[in-house]
């Protein structure tokens, strides 16, 4: 009987022990560390010799529960700014490109054939030359006139002045037409004064001759070694008038003044004895000249002509030498 009572008592104690053990075990904790938890020691068995229950095996660490993500850290992210407004700058509009001329032909046309005769001013149209062709050119001139032959014993050398123009009909011929108007004046020599005294029956103290008229000449230009210098020939005829004036000088007493003072003295008075004017008379001339370029249109020239006048009372020969400007 006693043996039967002990058995249920031992079972009860075993059940109580197991219950107590189960209540003392702490609940499972979710530990993120991967270390294994040590086994919990079981309480000592009761003093009674009862069959002990097997010790619980060490529990495997449970897989770590997934951690919730940490709360987001709110950072200030400024909104993207819009690009700065475009700065408008005033710019000049580009100039239009110049229109280029149509491309020249690969093979230029042959130059026109040059004429056999070319006017000297056209010939000197090179960049290094200053002569250019102009249909009309004006000139002024002046200089001295030398008396020749019989006039050399009757008249002193005189002076001349004039003006005129030249006309070149075409640049293909070195030939032009020149028109001159000239005035000449001479003083009478004693031989002419004596002839006048004998003719008029009175004393003749001085006299002058005036010669004026015009010429129409052909001018032929000649080539020279220098492009800025040219020679030319002149030949033609004209019409002239002559006027002879003879004077007598009479001396009278009076009151005269000089640079150092005034006082009594004598002074002369000229009175005209005679004045003769001829009609228009034909004159022929021929000469040569040299022209020097001073610019595209202006030139300087020197020329000499031999002129023979045919008056009714005999021939008169002159050699005018002129210096002038052409423009």
In terms of Cα–Cα distance, which of 233, 219, 228 is closest to 294?
Answer: 228
The pLDDT assigned to 16 comes to 66
Section 212-231 average pLDDT: 91
- In terms of Cβ atoms closer than 10 Å to its own Cβ (0-12, 13-18, 19+), residue 153 is exposed
pLDDT in tens, 88-122: 454 545 565 656 555 555 666 666 555 444 444 44
Mean pLDDT calculated for residue range 25-42? 47
Distance, in Å, from the CA atom of 124 to the CA atom of 132, rounded to the nearest integer, reads: 6
State both tokens at 53: 């229950």
- For 191-211, how does the pLDDT look when each residue is reduced to its tens digit (9 = 90+)? 999 999 999 999 999 999 999
Q: What is the mean pLDDT of the chain?
A: 77
Contact assessment for residue 5 and residue 41, using Cβ atoms and an 8 Å cutoff: no
Q: Give the whole-angstrom CA distance, residue 183 versus residue 159.
A: 8
CB neighbours of residue 313 within 10 Å: 7
C-alpha to C-alpha distance for 150 and 317, rounded to whole angstroms: 8
Domains of the chain: residue spans and CATH: 128-326 (2.40.160.20)
Partners of 39 in beta bridges:
none
Rounded to 5°, the CA angle 222-223-226 comes to: 135
């Amino acid at each position: 009987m006693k043996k039967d009572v002990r058995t249920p008592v031992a079972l009860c104690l075993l059940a109580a022990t197991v219950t107590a053990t189960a209540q003392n075990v702490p609940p499972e904790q979710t530990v993120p560390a991967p270390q294994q938890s040590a086994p919990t020691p079981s309480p000592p068995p009761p003093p009674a010799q009862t069959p002990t229950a097997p010790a619980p095996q060490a529990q495997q660490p449970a897989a770590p529960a997934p951690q919730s993500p940490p709360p987001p850290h709110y950072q200030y992210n400024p909104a993207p700014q819009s690009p700065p407004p475009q700065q408008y700058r005033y710019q000049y509009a580009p100039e239009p490109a110049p229109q280029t001329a149509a491309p020249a032909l690969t093979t230029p046309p042959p130059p026109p054939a040059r004429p056999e005769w070319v006017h000297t001013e056209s010939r000197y149209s090179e960049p290094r030359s200053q002569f250019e062709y102009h249909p009309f050119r004006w000139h002024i001139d002046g200089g001295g006139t030398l008396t020749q032959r019989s006039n050399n014993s009757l008249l002193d050398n005189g002076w001349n002045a004039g003006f005129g123009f030249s006309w070149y009909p075409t640049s293909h011929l070195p030939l032009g037409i020149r028109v001159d108007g000239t005035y000449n004046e001479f003083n009478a020599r004693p031989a002419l004064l004596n002839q006048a005294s004998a003719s008029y029956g009175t004393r003749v103290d001085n006299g002058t001759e005036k010669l004026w008229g015009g010429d129409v000449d052909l001018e032929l230009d000649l080539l020279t070694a220098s492009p800025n210098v040219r020679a030319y020939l002149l030949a033609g005829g004209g019409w002239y008038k002559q006027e002879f004036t003879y004077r007598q000088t009479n001396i009278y007493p009076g009151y005269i003044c000089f640079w150092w003072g005034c006082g009594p003295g004598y002074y002369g008075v000229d009175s005209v004895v005679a004045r003769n004017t001829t009609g228009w008379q034909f004159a022929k001339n021929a000469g040569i000249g040299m022209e020097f370029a001073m610019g595209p249109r202006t030139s300087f020239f020197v020329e000499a002509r031999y002129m023979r006048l045919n008056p009714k009372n005999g021939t008169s020969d002159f050699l005018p030498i002129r210096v002038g400007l052409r423009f």
